[in-house]
Structure 1
Amino acid sequence: MSFSFFKQSRPRTPQELAKAIKDSLVALDSKTVAEVKALEKALEEVEKNIVTMRTMLSGDGEIEPNSDQIAQLTLEICNEDVISLLFHKLPTLGWETRKNIVHCWSILLKQKVDSVFCCVQYLENHLELLDFLVVCYDNKEIALTCGHMLRECIKLPTLAKYILESPSFELFFKFVELPTFDVASDAFATFKDLLTKHETAVSEFLTTHYDEFFEQYEILLASANYVTRRQSLKLLSDFLLESPNSHIMKRYIAEVRHLKVMMTLLKDSSKNIQISAFHIFKVFVANPNKPRDIKVILAKNHERLLELLHSLSPGKGAEDDQFEEEKELIIKEIERVSRLPRLDS
């Protein structure tokens, strides 16, 4: 008796799977909204193929993934231009399929085949795909998917550097203030990674684009949105006080316009923002090489500043004593500056 009827079909090879994924994604183009059933069937085929890819890349809980198959699949996905299709078809795909693509993408990016990170190399040759992911923050249906994939990409210095230098980077100043909270938060998470993950690239970027960057950043610090003000102020501390950016910080604390922003934030209705502003404000005051116009501003506003500082307290905590010590030093320095002769002349 033959049991061939019950025999399972042969598993696809990595080459066959990559080709099947490509064909099913391309097939979506030939289905219009009018052909609802045909489109649903095409989407099911994509979903099935993506699930198979996920299983090949990370196993199914019973069978461990095969490293040779993973390497071969990665290579074929790059060779068949599947990455470009995956990115561009995201708006058409369902939530579960997008979730599986995010999972697969985090694995694919890390794969090295013959000493080459294939997917990274593919992106370096198709940099417009990174811009596509950034622009997708404007589509709230896929914003979080694209944001996750983008953060995976910018773990790589070359890809992060490209986005920093790309015109699409400026869009983050808009995206972090989008009305949909989840999307705005996700955009800010990506924005933060871009400015903190790769110190050398960030330092070079800030050096080259200092004026236009801080002009736009000031708008975030003055935002009517409390979350935007607080996050932006915290992020400013994170990257400004990094040692590779010491030359940027020296330039920043020598400019009156930046000092005025911090003085405004010291008066904020939120204690958290006041405390965060103090940690940047103190660098202006403690600078031993303060320019004359910085001293003039501090002297002219010393009474109000001293009043604000005396009332400023972080509350109870382990850092309370250190804060009070720093505050006392800053108060003394402002008092000293206010007594300097000929500042008004």
Structure 2
Amino acid sequence: MINYRYLGNSGLKITELTYGNWLTHASQVANEQAAACVKAALDVGISSFDTADVYANTAAETVLGDILKGERRESLEIFTKVYWPTGPKGANDVGLSRKHIMESINGSLTRLQTDYVDLYQAHRYDYETPLEETMTAFADVVRQGKALYIGVSEWTADQIREGVKLADQLNIQLISSQPQYSMLWRVIEDEVVPASEESGVSQIVWSPVAQGVLTGKYKPGQAPPEGSRATDEKGGADMIKRFMNDDVLTRVQKLEPIAQELDLTMAQLAIAWVLQNPNVSAAIIGASRPEQVTENAKASGVEIPAELMTRIDEALGDIVERDPLKTVETNPQERPA
């Protein structure tokens, strides 16, 4: 079964493997297959589920809500997010204005078929809305009982500090950060993690297997496997392309003997690796097949010895991205149209 960890400086426990439906539900995966994946997650003990209003332009929330509606709500932790354009994508269908937040939470609750979400997250930082307005709107969402806790995604260290400061003043709990984090993408380690630790915030990380690169299925000098994310022109290929070069793929192949020593698949090793960071509360895993969920669940509770952590660093060498500025560079400085 899956281990639980506290989320930030709160009493909320979540499963250290959290099921996410970005790029899958209502997009790459048929609804019946999506239901099978969620059932597999529940069967292995995953009770935390992450989605967002923007996924499949709101349809992913609907699919997840339909699948989970027969489950005991009190036994689940449901997370969603707000920021990116949704609906007809009008001038106010995007961002973290009070208007968009208040309308978006109502839409998300309807689609998810629940009275509240456990965690409501700012999907990016909105440079066009005063932070005070954003946090006040989040506080009202909490006071109305529509969300229990607040989180952020891909915010810088300074943005997290300011958000937590305002949350404290408003007497609500901002307890989580959802950044990209993997063996290959470690941009949060130098600034975001220390700021989070001092602020009572922990990480729910996405892409722990680097869009599938860390599974080892992409070989240097070879075309990507048919049907893999690297061949998905609907969005997957664009996300993975930063890792799709022979230098990275050659280094990744050096991880296979380390995984074998631990009797793990390379995907399990990658997920277990992010969970070694004490500031990480959960790794988000997605799936297009239920057996992927079952296999990845075996990463829960794995402890990687220090000497093998060192060997991982040596194997990957200087291909690891560590620059904290990447958090700013990969995020929009103005609301997307």
TM-score range, shorter chain: under 0.3
Larger strand percent: 2
TM-score by length of 2: 0.24
The structure whose RCO (Cα within 8 Å, separation 6+) is larger is 2
- Structure showing greater radius of gyration is 1
